[in-house]
Chains A and B, each alone.
Chain A
Amino acid sequence: MTPDPSRLDLLQGTLDLLILRALRADVMHGWAVSERIQQISQDVLQVNQGSLYPALHRLEHRGWIKAEWKISELGRRARFYSLTASGRKRLEIETANWSKLSGAIARVLRMA
Chain B
Amino acid sequence: MCKDVLLRLRALFFRRRMDQELQEELQFHTEMQTRKNRRYETDLTEAKRQTRLQFGSVVSATEECREARGISSMEILARDLRLALRILIKSPGFAVVALLSLALGVGGNTAIFSVVNAVLIRPLPYAESQKLAGVSNSAVFSGQVINDWPLSLHMYAVYNQQARSFADFGVWTAGAAAVAGNGDPEEVATVTMTHGVLRALGVPPYLGRWFSGADEVQGAQKTVILSYKYWQQRFAGNGGVLGQLVLIDFVPYQVVGVMPRNFDFLNLDPAVFLAQTVASGAPGSEDSDYSGVAKLKPGVSLEQANQDIGRVLSIWGAENTEWRQTLEELQVKPNVHPLKRDVVGDVGAVLKILMGALLIVLLLVCANVGNLMQMRAHARRGEFAIRAALGASRGRIARQPVVESLALASLGGAAGLGLAYAAVRILVTHGPTALPRVREISMDSTSLLFALACSLLSGMLFGFIAFLKSGLTNGLQNARGASQSAEQLHGQNALVVTQVALALVLLVGAGLLVRSFIALSAVTPGFTHPEQIQTIRLFIPAAQIRERERAAQMQADILHQVTAIPGVTAAGFATALPLELEYHNGNPVSVEDKTAVGQIPPNRTIKSISPGYFGALGTRLIVGRDFAWSDLASPPRVAIVSENMARENWGDPPNALGKRIRIGTDDPWSVVVGVAENVCDDGVDQPPPTLVYFPGARRSVSFALRSSRAGTQGLLKEITAKIHAVDSGLPLTNVRTLSDLNRLAMERRSFVLVLLGIAAAMAVTLSIMGVYGVLAYAVAQRRREISIRVAVGAEPRTIKALFLRQALILTCFGGAIGLASARGVSTWMASLLFGVSPGDPLTYGVSSAVIFAAALAASYLPSRRAASMDPIEALRSD
A contacts, CB < 8 Å to B: 1, 29-31, 35, 48-51, 53-55, 57-58, 60-61, 63, 69, 72, 74, 76-79
Contacts and interface: CB of A to CB of B under 8 A. Distances in A.
Q: Looking at A55, A61, A76, which has the most chain B CB atoms within 10 Å of its CB?
A: A61
A35 B50 CA distance: 16
B7 interface: yes
A54 B28 contact: no
Interface in B51-90: 53-58, 60-61, 64-65, 67-70
B53 A50 contact: no
A1 B65 contact: no
Contacts of A72: 28
A77 B31 contact: no
Contacts of B33: 31, 49
Contacts of A60: 69
6 contacts: A31-B32, A35-B36, A49-B54, A53-B22, A53-B26, A53-B29
B128 interface: no
B370 to A, nearest CB: 36
B303 interface: no
A69 B70 CA distance: 21
A49 B60 CA distance: 12
Sort A-B residue pairs by CB-CB distance and give the 7 closest, nearest first: A50-B56, A54-B64, A58-B68, A31-B32, A57-B68, A50-B61, A54-B68
B383 interface: no
B54 A78 contact: no
Given A31-B29, A31-B33, A51-B56, 6 more contacts: A50-B55, A53-B22, A54-B65, A54-B68, A78-B28, A79-B21
B74 to A, nearest CB: 14
Contacts of A63: 3
Contacts of B32: 31, 74
A49 B65 CA distance: 12
A43 to B, nearest CB: 13
B24 interface: yes
Contact of A29 (B3, B21, B28, B70): B28
Contacts of B56: 48-51
Given A50-B60, A54-B61, A58-B68, A79 B25 contact: yes
Contact of B70 (A55, A61, A74, A76): A61
Nearest to A32: B32
A77 B33 CA distance: 16
A48 B7 CA distance: 27
B61 A55 contact: no
Contacts of A35: 36
Given A1-B54, A50-B56, A53-B61, A61 B69 contact: yes
A72 B35 CA distance: 14
Contacts of A79: 21, 24-25, 28
A50 to B, nearest CB: 3
A49 B68 contact: no
B28 A31 contact: yes
Contacts of B28: 29-31, 72, 74, 76-79
Nearest to B18: A57
A30 B80 CA distance: 31
Interface string B737-780: 00000000000000000000000000000000000000000000
Interface residues of B, number: 28
A30 B29 contact: yes
A50 B31 contact: no
A51 B64 contact: yes
Nearest to B36: A35
Nearest to B7: A61
Contacts of B54: 1, 49
A51 B70 contact: no
Contacts of B69: 57-58, 60-61
Interface string B13-46: 0000000011011101101110010000000000
A55 B53 contact: no
Contacts of B50: 1
The SS class assigned to the A binding surface is: helix
B67 A54 contact: yes
A46 B849 CA distance: 73
Contacts of B64: 50-51, 53-54
Contact of A57 (B3, B24, B29, B65): B65
Contacts of A53: 22, 25-26, 29, 61, 64-65
A15 B388 CA distance: 28
A49 B70 contact: no
B29 A49 contact: yes
Contacts of A54: 61, 64-65, 67-68
Contacts of B25: 29-30, 53, 78-79
Nearest to B56: A50
Contacts of A76: 28
A51 B65 CA distance: 9
Contacts of B3: 63
Given A30-B29, A55-B68, A50 B57 contact: yes
A60 to B, nearest CB: 8
Interface in B64-122: 64-65, 67-70
A45 to B, nearest CB: 14
B724 to A, nearest CB: 88
Contacts of A58: 68-69
B7 to A, nearest CB: 7
A52 to B, nearest CB: 8
B29 A61 contact: no
Nearest to B26: A53
Nearest to B55: A49
A61 B68 contact: yes
Given A1-B53, A31-B33, A78-B28, A51 B61 contact: yes
A109 B3 CA distance: 44
A53 to B, nearest CB: 5
A82 B28 CA distance: 18
A54 B25 CA distance: 12
B1 to A, nearest CB: 13
B878 to A, nearest CB: 38
A59 to B, nearest CB: 9
Nearest to B28: A78
A48 B56 CA distance: 8
Interface in B569-607: none
B87 to A, nearest CB: 30
Contacts of A1: 50, 53-54
User: A48, A63, A74, A79: which has the most chain B beta carbons within 10 Å?
Assistant: A79
B39 to A, nearest CB: 13
A74 B60 CA distance: 27
B31 A74 contact: yes
Contacts of A30: 25, 28-29
A70 to B, nearest CB: 11
A73 to B, nearest CB: 9
Nearest to B25: A79
A104 B64 CA distance: 33
A69 B20 CA distance: 13
Nearest to B64: A54
Contacts of A57: 65, 68-69
Contacts of A50: 55-58, 60-61, 64
Contacts of B53: 1
Contacts of A29: 25, 28-29
Contacts of B24: 77, 79
A69 B69 CA distance: 17
A72 B24 CA distance: 13
A104 to B, nearest CB: 30
A56 B29 CA distance: 13
Contacts of B68: 54-55, 57-58, 61
Contacts of B29: 29-31, 49, 53
A96 B302 CA distance: 65
A45 B36 CA distance: 18
A35 B39 CA distance: 15
Contacts of A61: 7, 68-70
Contacts of A74: 28, 31-32
